[in-house]
Structure 1
Amino acid sequence: MVKEIERAGFPVVQMCNLIPVATTVGSNRIVPTISIPYPLGNPADSKEHQWKLRYHRVGVALDALATDIEEQTVFKVKI
């Protein structure tokens, strides 16, 4: 679906934790997430820590959306 949306002229960022799958299906802008059941957080962490993780990753995704790319790119995130 990502490729079809981009083919229509809209840039897309795929946030996922299975980077090899995203590259195989042709996603162009990829932002790594944390895990399958909790991609943008960890319920075992404090609410403050979860907020920081989400804020950072969504920020990376927005930066990726605004970045011109020529090939598939996996954007770096802080651990």
Structure 2
Amino acid sequence: MANLIPVAKSVGSNKIVPTISIPYPLGDPNTPKEEQWKLRYHRVGVALEALTADVKEQTVFSVKI
């Protein structure tokens, strides 16, 4: 999971799951708690899927809900 995708690519990460921001990678404190939970649950789910994915080259996983 990374919030600076170009940096993750430049250091050779092969599986990249985008996050929200630097101080709050998995949430936005300006949103309701229910919305934050859904967002975090989804991002962590994508990250778990990325761990089991067989990739041949650098892959940025989609996090659209």
Q: Alpha-carbon deviations, 1:14-58, whole Å to 9, x = none?
A: x11110000000101000000000000011111000000000000
Instruction: Report the AA paired with residue 29 of structure 1.
Output: K
Instruction: Report the AA paired with residue 19 of structure 2.
Output: T
TM-score (norm 2): 0.96
Q: Which of the pair has the greater relative contact order for Cα pairs under 8 Å at 6+ separation?
A: 2
Matches of 1:43 and 1:67, distance apart in 2:
31
1:1-79 pair list within 5 angstroms: 15-78=1-64
Q: Structure 1: where are the runs of 5+ without partners? A: 1-14
* Equivalences, count: 65
TM-score (norm 1): 0.80
- The Cα RMSD (Å) is 0.8
